[in-house]
Amino acid sequence: MSEYDLDSEMLAFIDRYLEVSCLSTATDIAQQRIDYDAMVRHFRYPHPRGISSADSMAAGRHGDIPLRRYRLGDGDANALILFIHGGGFILGSLDSHDDICAELCAGTGYDLVSVDYRLSPEFHHPVHLDDVEDAFKSLQHDNVILVGASAGGTLAAALCHRLNSATLKPGGQVLIYPSLGGDCFDLESYRLNANAPLLTAADIDFYRGARCASGDLPFADPEFYPLAAADFSNTPPSIAISADIDPLRDDAMLYVEKLRAAGVRAQWINEPGMVHDYLRARHFSAAAGAAFERICDSVKRLAS
């Protein structure tokens, strides 16, 4: 890792991450889920004081969709966050990002709903997006801010594209180290950060392939790769946040460039010294903690 500019706290976080989990795309998916859950348990923190949560189900075209709603006291009803977790479309659940969601709720004051969309390889594209759309529609709120991390960022941007001509669509989106299809655009970050800690270019190839039922990947489908869209003009206000030491870094940059060219209010925030999944480091690293605060501020700016 000496080739990357990492401070001592981030290096310690990466070492601990790798120590508690042998997570690798070289193992089968069942083992990856075991290793991922071990990592999640290690970095889980208690909910902030005053946060309550309750589970429910939303009706969806593929069956019921588990949801978890977080609330801080009476909350601020002017906006509602829909959180879409990451995990390469094969990992993650309501529990995997539970503490992150609770802290986002506390940090913004808005109620937050987390969606447990169906995963691959049991289900394939576009089922993940169908679940997220059905969850969004079930909220029946006129100012929903999407917050998607990694694969969740893919789904958030894809949902905005799918709903670009709908009457009810998101009020904004915050994408956290999103995968948007930048590997089809020969972006520099895929070369510079090909072997970055916690996510490599080879990992991205694996997760991309796991999304689909066959080897024929729909690269031109903006619901699969949002950067492939021909028209970005109806996208809601967006903030795309990247980790500088991540192959996906330039996805966020290019997406914001395309949004701005289409006249959409958009901002790119690149976090120096951060690696993919730095949300887990928010209590381990002062820099990651400050980056988390910027995520909360981004949500509040879009919601107001």
Say how far apart CA 225 and CA 107 lie, in whole Å.
30
Name the residue ranges covered by the structural domains of the chain: 8-303
pLDDT (0 to 100) of residue 1: 52
pLDDT grade, residue 2 (50/70/90)?
Answer: low
The answer for residues whose C-beta is within 8 angstroms of residue 174's C-beta and 6 or more apart is 145, 146, 147, 148, 238, 239, 240, 241, 295, 298, 299, 302
Q: 8-303: which CATH number, 3.30.2350.10, 3.20.20.70, 3.30.70.100, 3.40.50.1820? A: 3.40.50.1820
> pLDDT tens, 94-148?
999 999 999 999 999 999 999 999 999 999 999 999 999 999 999 999 999 999 9
* Percent of the chain scoring above 90 in pLDDT: 95
> pLDDT tens, 171-217?
999 999 999 999 999 999 999 999 999 999 999 999 999 999 877 88
pLDDT at residue 293 is higher than 90 = yes
> pLDDT tens, 12-56?
999 999 999 988 999 999 999 999 999 999 999 999 999 999 999
Summary mean pLDDT of the chain = 96
Provide the sign of the torsion angle of the four alpha carbons 184, 187, 189, 190, taken in this order: positive
